[in-house]
Structure formats: structure tokens, C-alpha cells
Structure 1
């Protein structure tokens, strides 16, 4: 139980660090993309190194041109209890590499189910400057498909998505905060949720209380058993003392 408490304490510290990086990323001035993400060294379809842990949630800025021919729809994403799509668009930089930019959330097409392909706002033409928080990719995307000229996926699985694109892709993506020219108002900002570190702290207290209760319970039971045995032995001695002596042979 003590070890389980220590494990939850480690998780509490880890989640607290994540929350601190989220808060710091919201307050900080953006840094150039190269300061947060390493440039992909490979060729088309390759993925660069993932961001270092301490670089996640860093606010970074980049300038390039959106590739409207490779818009990515990530389906099954919820905002305010509504299921829709997050829209990622590759931002192609001057060096020929690209970083995926999560431009926001949009609902599915009216009258359809949650998988009905939405009307995606037009992608800005010309040079675009973005600022957003650095995020790592997700796993378990399954197949990446192309429907009506757009890529679709269930997760932001960067290795799988990179293989579908004609340029090297950075190993992290940007969750958009600001854009010049201004982003289309149809996009809903993807909310950033803090990790529930207080739940882990509660588990720490719970496991350590259980450990103390177990020791107390063991001591109480041992003392009770010792007293019972002591009483039983005392009664046996008293019984033997009260027995009449057996007469010997005449």
C-alpha cells in the first residue's frame, strides 16, 4: 500500500508539471518554431523528432503557406458535448518542411450524423503567420483515408499522417492560438484541459491511510489474540491447581 501511494505521488508530480507547462504556455511570448521543434532531417513523407517533454505546450510561431490540397479532418472530437471534427492543415515553411496546424473544431454537416463531412472554411491563400502551443501526436489512428479530396483520421497520428504528405513533417503539431490573417470565426477553439492531479493526491492519502489502518488493525488483533491465549493458559493452570491429588498405592 505504501508503494501504491508512492506511485500515485509520482503521478501527481508528473501531472502537476504538465499543468504548469500548460499555464506557462498560455502566458509566454511565442518563440520561433525551430526553438521548440527540431527540423525534420528526412525526405517527403518523413517525420521529424518528437518535441522534448519540456517543450510541449511551448507557444511557438511560424510563417508559411497553408497546403489546401491536404487538409486533414480528425473525426469524433467533442467540444461542449458536441461531436465534430478538428481541422489540421499543413503549413509549408520556407525550407520546404511543414508543420501541422490544428486550426480548430467545426460541427458535422447539418442533417447528417457525426461522420457527415463538414463544410470546411476556406484556407487562407498567401503567406500566413501562426502562433500556437506545441503538442505531441496521438496513437491508435487506424487507417488514414482520403474522402472528397481531404484526409480523414480518428487520431492525430503524426507518423501515419506524414506518410500521406509530400514533404517532411515536424514531429509535433501546433494548437492554434493566433493567426495572421485572422482565422475564420466558424472555427471553435479546441479547449485545453488540465490534468486532474488532485485525484492522484487523493489516492496517495487513501493508500497511506489504508497502510496505517492495516498496521493498527494487525497490532490490535495480535494484542487481542495474546490476551486470549494468556487467559486460556491462566484458566488451565487454575484448573490443574484445583484438581484433588490422586492417592498413591497403599
Structure 2
């Protein structure tokens, strides 16, 4: 009944179905790997929020190349670690990071180098402020920076990539926090990641809004896993359904009809 499956045409259909299903399974596995990786990042973010702060020197190595250079980027396991650092803010080299969104509003994040006792600096993202009236890129009025010794507590944020660094009205501006590029504009070495501020002593100005650390959307990837695996199963089921339909059609064509009683048929009329 199913011998037709060994014909070249149906063997071709089978090969196509198997290849398509295999590709879909692999795509599902790829999305599963992404789900696991994103889940690990979310767990790391949550763990960083709960942990006791460690000295920044334990998380971020000091730069060894002198002024204008950045230290090595930390291992991924160090990202989102809560750290503490004490030093003095360098207000002359404050950096405005434009085009940043918090609570659905576009404004600036204020990045200020904190110069440590060893002469190196760590870039501290002190928070978000709105632009000045006139548009989303109008330079804001930055609240006063504390003078003297400052202690900060925050979480290690990996360096971003890209984004030109320029000066506008005497202030450094950028679109992306690329630590290595920003280091070239500074008169000292910089640690290889920046710190997203949680707490500060003396207290930070209330004008700043804390920059939230967003969790990755890992469940979207899990949904794609299910989707691809369902498609793979449907492909094989579709092949089986088509084969069964073909077999039933062939059985109907080959089955003999009921016997005909010739004696019961009327005799043909003779031609006039």
C-alpha cells in the first residue's frame, strides 16, 4: 500500500521534509542557547543588586598604559558587580551622554570621572537629567558636582561600542559610553568599564534620576524555541498526512467494483 514512498518523487519529499525539520530544530536550539544566556545575565543583574559592595580595584584592573588609555575590559562574570570607590570628581572633564531614555523621556546621562588615590579614574554614571528647553539635544543645566572626597556605590556596566566623542560648548559629548574612546580625551588612565551609580556620599542631587538596569527579554527567546520545534513537528506530520492521503487515493483506484449481472441487462434492440 505504501510502496509508492520508495519512488524518487516521494523520496525527494521525505528528504526535503527531514532537512526542513532539522533546520527548524537547530534554530530552536540556537534560540534555547540565547534564552539560557539571557537568563544568566538576568540572574547576574539580580545577584549584583543583592550583594555587598567590593572595592572597585577588585573588579576593575588599573590601566597600565598611562594617560589617555583604558584598562582591560572585565570578564563577563564581573558585569553588574556592586562596587565601591572613593576619590574626587573631575568636573573639568564631565561627559554628557545624549539621546538617553528614562521613563520614556529623552535626555542626558551625566558621566563624571572619579579620580582615585592611585591617579587612575573610573567613569561614574551619576544619573539622567532632562535637556534644556529647546529640544532633546539642548545641553542641560548640570547640578553641582560635590567637591572634595566622594564615595560612590554602584554596579559595573560594560563599556559600550561606537559613538564619536566631541566637545560642544566646552563639554565632552557622546552618544555611546565607549570607555576606550573617552579615555583618549582624559589626562589619566581609566578603568575598563564604567560604574552605574546607586548611592553616593555626600548624597547625589535629587535632580538626577537613577538609570535603571533593564533585564533582557529571555522569555521571547523561549517562545521562539517552542515555535521552531512546533514547526519542525508540523513539517513531519504534514509529510505523513500527505503520504496517507496518497495511499488512500491509490487504494480507491485499485479496488475492484461490484460484479455486474449481465443476464439482468435488457437485450439490445435490433435496428429498424
On whether the aligned pair clears a TM of 0.5, the verdict is yes
Aligned position for 1:70: 93
Secondary structure of the residue aligned to 1:18 is helix
Aligned pair partner of 1:217 in 238, 246, 250: 238
Secondary structure of the residue aligned to 1:84 is strand
Aligned position for 1:53: 76
1:227 pairs with 2:248? yes
Deviations, residues 134-168 of structure 1 (Å, cap 9, x unaligned): 01111121x21112221000111111111111111
Aligned position for 1:136: 158
Aligned position for 1:156: 177
Secondary structure of the residue aligned to 1:113 is coil
1:96 pairs with 2:96? no
Q: CA deviation at 1:225?
A: 1.5
Aligned pair partner of 1:40 in 59, 63, 66: 63
Distance 1:29 1:154 in 2: 31
Query: Aligned residues, how many?
Result: 236
Map 1:184-195; keep pairs closer than 5 Å. Answer: 184-195=205-216
Aligned position for 1:246: none
Secondary structure of the residue aligned to 2:97 is strand
The answer to whether the 8 Å contact 1:70/1:149 transfers is no
Which runs of 5 or more structure 2 residues have no equivalent in the other structure? 1-23, 261-272
Aligned position for 2:140: 118
Distance 2:127 2:209 in 1: 5
Please identify the structure whose Cα radius of gyration is greater.
Answer: 2
Secondary structure of the residue aligned to 1:102 is strand
Which runs of 5 or more structure 1 residues have no equivalent in the other structure? 243-250
Aligned position for 1:84: 107
Map 1:3-22; keep pairs closer than 5 Å. Answer: 3-22=26-45
Map 1:196-215; keep pairs closer than 5 Å. Answer: 196-215=217-236
- Give the alignment's Cα RMSD to 1 decimal: 1.5
TM-score by structure 2 length?
Answer: 0.84
Distance 2:161 2:200 in 1: 27
Distance 1:131 1:94 in 2: 16
1:177 pairs with 2:198? yes
Secondary structure of the residue aligned to 2:69 is coil
Distance 1:140 1:38 in 2: 22
Q: CA deviation at 1:224?
A: 1.3
